Amino acid sequence: MAGLYDELLILLHGIWNRRWIALAVAWGICMLGWLGVALIPNSYQSKARVYVNTQSLLEDKMGITQVQSQQDLDRVRSTLASAENLEKVVRGTDLSQSVSGPRDIAAKITKLRENITVLAQADPSMIDISAISNDSSLSDGANARIAQQVVQKLIDIFQEENLSGDRNETKQSLAFLDQQIAARGKQLEAADQRRVEFAQRYVGLLPGAGSISQRMDAARMEVNTIDSQLVQAQSALSAMNGQLAGTPQTLPGVGASGGPSALSQAQSNLASMKARGWTDNHPDVIAARREVDALRKTGGSASGGGSTPNPAYLSIKSMQAERAATVQALQTRKAQLQSDLNAMMARQVDEPGIASEQEKLDRDYEVLKTQYDKLLADREEIRLRGEVKTETGSVQFRVIQPPSTPTAPTAPNRPLLLLGVLVLGIGAGVGVAFALGQLRGSFSTAARLEKALGLPVAGSISQLRSAAQVALEKQRLKWFAGASGGLAAVCLLLIAVEFVQRGMA
């Protein structure tokens, strides 16, 4: 431990012997360093915070989701530092006073892009906007004022892009859609006119709507339906005829014995047999017919009783006429449809392109009509969205923290740099003195000499100083203390000047 202490004293003694060299190096480095610090321009930063509300119940109802609103906000934030917007900043602030041409504007834009920061906070609706001004050709006050003006201009542009940009985009979209709708409307009218002309040429071929093939298919389906109805109507008519045949036209009168006439009874039996499906060759039917013929020859009844019209027969006769009319109407309708189908098929044989022409006309018309309807729907949706954003835009944007006017530079930290230069200069001076002490071939103590030579040293003689030398040494010590104190005083003076300049800015 004692050896280390001795070594330390030896090092300090060597540095002290070269203290003037160390002080000179410290002064030189400090003066150069302080000059470099003085040449560093002050940077003044202005900050602002804005709040943009991207959530709206009305917008959600209109299909404007929060994701879409956030995408719009990100788009505006990313384009805020575009060359066009930065040129607006240059022309709208005091930066325009030092602009003499397009080259100066381009230089200002490049520097602004490096000094402008737009950051989103954890809450995406909160956005921080900051700008730094460090033009060495301007005063501190001018730099501070320009930083505040740049942030304020960015807020104005942000608000304009966020609130007015959607309105302009909506107007442009609506104008484009109006042009497309007008063009599609003319094309739709022309296609409809071609359809009308085609219908006039081939009017009355088949009833209904649609293409010719569709109408023919519908007519065939209707013919099949009429066939089924005709079968049912004919069956009903046959049943009605059978029932009518089994019903007597008149009711038998009442004779002396109170019974029906023989002729009426025989006719009733014959009709009943036919109603059951017996043929004329059936023995019972042959016998019944002979009986009826015999009674007619004899006058019909031994009792000679009278007869009256049968109401049931008249009712069945009326129903029979109705069924016959239905059958006749169905047959007529079927014949008409079949005739139209035959005429259409004959026309297709003569002109095979009719069906394909009508299908093409209908297809073109439907395509144009679909596009036209979609354009109308899109225009209405964009118009409603634009109105929603316009009406609700006044509550979406709010400045939480207005642009601050900086009163102190954010960079560089000049007092800390001045102190750092002082410490660096002193350290450099001490280092130079130490290096010179190590390079010279002198020995500070007898022990070092003995160790270096490997021979015993008999003794050493201390330095003897006269009174004049002691006085001179004290004077030099005062000079050294004054020079060292002056170095520290200069550093403190520069720090004080820095704070005074900040207050003046």
- The answer for 409, left when phi > 0, alpha when psi is -120 to 50, beta otherwise, is beta
Count of domains in the chain?
Answer: 2
235 and 341 inside one domain:
yes
How far is Cα 79 from Cα 470, in angstroms, rounded to an integer? 77
Give residue 261's domain range.
212-366
How far is Cα 267 from Cα 295, in angstroms, rounded to an integer? 10
CB contact burial 393-422 (16+ within 10 A = b; e otherwise): beebeeeeeebbebeebbeeebbebbeebb
264 and 349 inside one domain:
yes
Residue-level pLDDT at 31: 94
What do you get for the CA distance between the two ends of the chain, in Å?
Answer: 56
How far is Cα 448 from Cα 442, in angstroms, rounded to an integer? 10
Strand partners, 45: 132
Domain boundary among 366, 382, 403: 366
Angle in degrees, 0-180, between the axes of helices 262-275 and 212-245, rounded to the nearest 10: 140
Assess if residue 8 is contained within a domain.
yes
**Which residues 6+ apart lie within 8 Å of 48 measured at CB?**
128, 129, 130, 151, 152, 154, 155, 399, 401, 402, 403, 404
Residue 180: closest CA among 371, 381, 30: 371
Q: How confident is the model at residue 19 (pLDDT cuts 50, 70, 90)?
A: confident
Against a cut of 0.85, is the pTM above it?
no
How far is Cα 207 from Cα 339, in angstroms, rounded to an integer? 13
Encoded amino acid at 406, one letter: P
Residue-level pLDDT at 259: 43
Residue 58 has pLDDT above 50, yes or no: no
Encoded amino acid at 5, one letter: Y
255 and 341 inside one domain:
yes
Sheet arrangement for strand 126-133: 116-120, 126-133, 44-52, 397-401
Assess if residue 103 is contained within a domain.
no
E strands in 62-165: 116-120, 126-133
Least confident of 18-32, 65-79, 180-194, 392-406: 65-79
- The proportion of the chain whose per-residue pLDDT surpasses 70, expressed as a percent, equals 72
Coil, strand or helix at 46: strand
- The answer for 258, left when phi > 0, alpha when psi is -120 to 50, beta otherwise, is left
Assess if residue 111 is contained within a domain.
no
Residue-level pLDDT at 255: 43
Q: How confident is the model at residue 90 (pLDDT cuts 50, 70, 90)?
A: confident
Residue-level pLDDT at 217: 77
Say how far residue 355 (Cα) sits from the centre of its chain.
Answer: 45
Residue 262 has pLDDT above 60, yes or no: yes
Tokens for 381, please give them: 């949706």
SS (H, E, C) 282-334: CHHHHHHHHHHHHHHHHCCCCCCCCEEECHHHHHHHHHHHHHHHHHHHHHHHH
Assess if residue 475 is contained within a domain.
yes
227 and 342 inside one domain:
yes
Q: What is the pLDDT of residues 394-409, one digit of tens each?
A: 446 678 888 888 877 8
430 and 285 inside one domain:
no
Residue 451 has pLDDT above 60, yes or no: yes
**Which residues 6+ apart lie within 8 Å of 460 measured at CB?**
445, 446
315 and 439 inside one domain:
no
How far is Cα 187 from Cα 178, in angstroms, rounded to an integer? 14
Residue 437 has pLDDT above 90, yes or no: no
Encoded amino acid at 87, one letter: E
How many residues are recorded in the chain? 505
Residue-level pLDDT at 114: 86
The secondary structure element, H or E, covering residue 400 is strand 397-401
How far is Cα 101 from Cα 107, in angstroms, rounded to an integer? 10
Strand partners, 119: 128
The distance between the two most distant Cα atoms of the chain, rounded to a whole number of Å, is 200
Mean pLDDT over all residues of the chain?
Answer: 76
337 and 453 inside one domain:
no
Assess if residue 501 is contained within a domain.
yes
Say how far residue 128 (Cα) sits from the centre of its chain.
Answer: 24
Q: How confident is the model at residue 422 (pLDDT cuts 50, 70, 90)?
A: very high
CB contact burial 18-51 (16+ within 10 A = b; e otherwise): bbeebbebbbebbeebbeebeeebbbbbbbbbbe
Domain boundary among 299, 334, 366: 366
Tokens for 281, please give them: 């060759």
348 and 277 inside one domain:
yes
Average pLDDT over residues 74-102: 79
**Which residues 6+ apart lie within 8 Å of 421 measured at CB?**
29, 30, 33, 34, 37, 491
What is the torsional sign of CA 29, 31, 34, 39? Answer: negative
Residue-level pLDDT at 301: 46
Contact between 271 and 328 (Cβ < 8 Å): no
Coil, strand or helix at 454: coil
How far is Cα 50 from Cα 83, in angstroms, rounded to an integer? 22
> Is pLDDT larger for residue 204 or for residue 367?
367
Residue 129 has pLDDT above 70, yes or no: yes
Coil, strand or helix at 126: strand
434 and 497 inside one domain:
yes
- Which residue stretches of 116-211 are H helix? 140-159, 165-201
For the CA atoms of 52, 58, 63, 67, the dihedral, rounded to the nearest 10 degrees, stands at 20
Q: How confident is the model at residue 197 (pLDDT cuts 50, 70, 90)?
A: confident
353 and 435 inside one domain:
no
Tokens for 350, please give them: 């003569």
Average pLDDT over residues 345-353: 61
Assess if residue 301 is contained within a domain.
yes
Contact between 67 and 73 (Cβ < 8 Å): no
Least confident of 113-122, 220-229, 247-256, 456-465: 247-256
222 and 350 inside one domain:
yes
Residue-level pLDDT at 492: 93
Q: How confident is the model at residue 267 (pLDDT cuts 50, 70, 90)?
A: confident
Residue 455 has pLDDT above 90, yes or no: no
Domain boundary among 366, 399, 430: 366
Assess if residue 44 is contained within a domain.
no
> Is pLDDT larger for residue 275 or for residue 40?
40
Assess if residue 236 is contained within a domain.
yes
360 and 447 inside one domain:
no
